[in-house]
Amino acid sequence: MSIYLVLMGAPGAGKGTQAKKLEDELGLPHISTGELFRYNLKNETELGKLAQTYINKGNLVPDNITVAMVRERLTQDDCKNGAILDGFPRNPAQADALEQLLSEFNGEISVVPYIHVDQDYLVERLLKRAEIEGRADDNEETIRARMLVFEEQTQPLLDYYEERGLLVRVDGDQSIDDVAQELFKVVRVKL
């Protein structure tokens, strides 16, 4: 059976960094839906063109298009043993769609690590990143607003996976290497 992980965490929690470490450790590809969208839009794939019609109108891209992009990515050879999903699913409806999709690939979600970081620490981290990267629009007010939106949108998904016994909280307030070691332990126990 293939191994699928859903990696969760607030903006700035270090998901991208930890996903790369997990990718190296497990030999599974890291699939970021943000990157999937950018690829499909840039390369003007059929799904990208379809998504663009919604984006141009200022609307969210419907779940079925996002699911189709994920499905297409999961059919590629590097995903034959599973994948690390980042940024998808974003809500319980997408989680149900993912469950159904993975059953087509003879797979299921093995574990959902949630990198939890104290909000004040996250804000501090994101302000530093904004300063380094010259992101003038990332001030404390906008960062805290994004955190609030993340929490409101993510809580139902955390509950969804907790009810299924798949959610495991990882302390993201540690060093990058310590978070990685905790993630590796969590994943090994569930695999």
Q: Is the pLDDT of residue 64 over 80?
A: yes
Peptide bond into 89 cis (omega under 30): yes
Does residue 101 have a pLDDT over 90?
Answer: yes
Give dist(CA 7, CA 87) in Å, integer.
Answer: 8
The residue with tokens 């939890």 is: 116
Q: pLDDT of 19-61, one tens digit each?
A: 999 999 999 999 998 899 889 999 999 999 999 898 888 888 8
In this structure, are residues 111 and 187 in contact, taking their beta carbons and an 8 Å threshold?
Answer: yes
Catalytic residues: 15, 90, 129, 135, 146
DSSP codes of every residue in 88-119: ---SHHHHHHHHHHHHHTTEEEEEEEEEE--H
Enumerate residues 6+ apart whose C-beta is below 8 A from 161: 6, 95, 109, 112, 167
CATH 3.40.50.300 fits 2-190, yes or no: yes
Q: Are 92 and 156 in contact (CB under 8 A)?
A: yes
* pLDDT for 171 beyond 80: yes
Distance CA(94)–CA(82), nearest Å, equals 18
Domain ranges of the chain: 2-190
Which pTM value belongs to this model? 0.89
Task: Write down how long the chain is.
Answer: 191
Which amino acid does the sequence have at 181? Q
